[in-house]
Homo-oligomer: A and B are copies of this chain.
Amino acid sequence: MTKKCYGAVELGGTKFTTLIAKDTRTILKKKVFPTLNPKDSLQDIVAFFKDEIPDCETKLEAIGVGSFGPLDLNPDSKTFGFITSTPKQGWEFFNIKGEIEKALDVNVFLETDVNAAAVGEFYLYPVNRIRNLAYITIGTGIGAGIITNGKLIHGLVHPEFGHISIPHDIRKDPFRGVCPYHRDCFEGLASGPAMTARWNLSPDDLPVNHMGWELEGEYIAHALANLIYTVSPEIIILGGDVMHHRHLFPIIHKKARALLNKYIKSRSLEENISEYIVPPRLKDDSGILGALSMAVYETESRD
């Protein structure tokens, strides 16, 4: 039996997860660490992967990393593979890809956290059934990983879907928004911190029947309608802390259907909308399993 093994890291602002696996389904070892400064966290990562496992060769095939950003993912850039202008102290311009590669002599495939989560959900589907997918996280911030024709969109920089503008009726919702750049963009109106600032209650403390949930569902529905009109995904996955409140889903389904107003003729958007806008099937593991998928499939495609 092959002793090939793969690694994965999901690097978040407060904690990070590492794992070693034989393939995308056979996890051998998994651990969660607090995110410290880059030096100490790198040491934790290296120690985790250097620890020998009987079923694995000493050297991993590759490590997939999904990381908080912003990241430089342009292969032609001098800072390719770096975390760039993050407000997270100590991590500015840290060469996350290069440092792990150097310490472990292994190929590292790096993506943003939300892109890794999109990849994780994407590989759940049999190839050729779903080729166009969007994963949106709604939590402290809002971001999207978008796959079209089976590939992640990168483009000029990378998508910053949280910052699209959506209709904001100031008479109905006089809250001005929390985005330091745009004030009342999607993230400024609908992120967790926006909800907390608007109602003086965090989403976790907001009663299920509070009108704040209707408003939240409306903003999300507006953003999804724009996404559907722009890239026409075949499925939309909504993750992140705010979406742990599952009663939001039926509100979003109802409002998205009303907004699209049957303009786009597709059963997915009419009777089947609850199978079209869905929670992550991988629950909170989309990111780490996506990072693992990147390591496995990118390695295979280069063999």
Q: Which A residues lie at the B interface, using CB under 8 A? A: 85, 132, 144, 146, 148-149, 151, 153-168, 181-182, 222, 225-234, 259, 261-266, 268-269
Contacts and interface: CB of A to CB of B under 8 A. Distances in A.
Contact of A156 (B157, B222, B225, B234): B234
Given A263-B182, A265-B85, A229 B159 contact: yes
A163 B264 CA distance: 10
A230 B164 contact: yes
Contact of A229 (B163, B222, B229): B163
Contacts of A234: 155-156
A163 B144 CA distance: 20
Nearest to A170: B169
Contacts of A167: 165-168
B159 A232 contact: yes
Given A165-B226, A167-B167, A268 B156 contact: yes
Contact of A149 (B148, B157, B226, B263): B148
A186 to B, nearest CB: 9
A153 B168 CA distance: 29
Given A164-B225, A167-B167, A153 B148 contact: yes
A187 B151 CA distance: 29
Q: Which of A149, A151, A155 has the most CB of B within 10 A?
A: A155
A146 B165 CA distance: 20
A234 B158 CA distance: 10
Contacts of A228: 156
B233 A160 contact: no
Contact of A153 (B159, B161, B181, B232): B232
Given A153-B132, A265-B157, A231 B146 contact: yes
Contacts of A151: 148-149
A155 B269 CA distance: 13
Contact of A154 (B227, B232, B263, B269): B232
Contacts of A132: 153-156
A231 B153 contact: yes
B225 A227 contact: no
A159 B168 CA distance: 24
A161 B264 CA distance: 12
Contact of A181 (B168, B232, B261): B261
A151 B229 CA distance: 17
